[in-house]
């Protein structure tokens, strides 16, 4: 199993550009989520999905869109990048937030810089 994979690892964008951060998992997990980590901060939840076709907002959703057309993939879209979105982005998955121990598996992260 590859676990949770994220692409790209690094990305530089100019203000106003759009892009999609990719996330995939091969563990057949129902639950997937996106977090961002800023210097001196913990991870903050952006969006999450409890299954294909179902998404919801987390703590800091503004400026981001998500979709979940398959169990495996959960892309994060930046609609119009802003310098405040400079951060490290982590995708995570788990079997089920209700049934499991709630252990989430994290990808290696995407480091995004917006100039």
Partner 1 sequence: DQQVKQNSPSLSVQEGRISILNCDYTNSMFDYFLWYKKYPAEGPTFLISISSIKDKNEDGRFTVFLNKSAKHLSLHIVPSQPGDSAVYFCAASARSGGGADGLTFGKGTHLIIQP
Site for partner 1, rule CB under 8 A: 4, 31, 33, 35, 40-45, 48, 50, 56, 58-59, 90, 92, 97-98, 101-109
CA 77 to chain centre: 9
Q: What is the C-alpha separation between 107 and 1, in angstroms, rounded?
A: 13
Q: What is the C-alpha separation between 5 and 58, in angstroms, rounded?
A: 21
Nearer to partner 1, 50 or 82 (CB): 50
Nearer to partner 1, 14 or 103 (CB): 103
Place of tokens 């790209």: 8
Q: How far is the CB of 21 from partner 1 (least distance, A)?
A: 13
Q: How far is the CB of 56 from partner 1 (least distance, A)?
A: 7
Q: Which two tokens stand for residue 29?
A: 């997990």
Nearer to partner 1, 13 or 107 (CB): 107
Q: How far is the CB of 40 from partner 1 (least distance, A)?
A: 6
Residue 65 pairs in a beta bridge with 77
Nearer to partner 1, 38 or 79 (CB): 38
Number of Cβ atoms within 10 Å of the Cβ of 1:
8
């Amino acid at each position: 199993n590859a676990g949770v994979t994220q692409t790209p690892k690094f990305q530089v964008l100019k203000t106003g550009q759009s892009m999609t951060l990719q996330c995939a998992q091969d563990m057949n997990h129902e639950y997937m989520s996106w977090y961002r980590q800023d210097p001196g901060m913990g991870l903050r939840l952006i969006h999450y999905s409890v299954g294909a076709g179902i998404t919801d907002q987390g703590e800091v959703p503004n400026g981001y869109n998500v979709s979940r057309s398959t169990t495996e993939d959960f892309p994060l879209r930046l609609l119009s990048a802003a310098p405040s979105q400079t951060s490290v982005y982590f995708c995570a998955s788990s079997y089920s937030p209700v049934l499991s121990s709630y252990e989430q598996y994290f990808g290696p992260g995407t480091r995004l810089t917006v100039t």
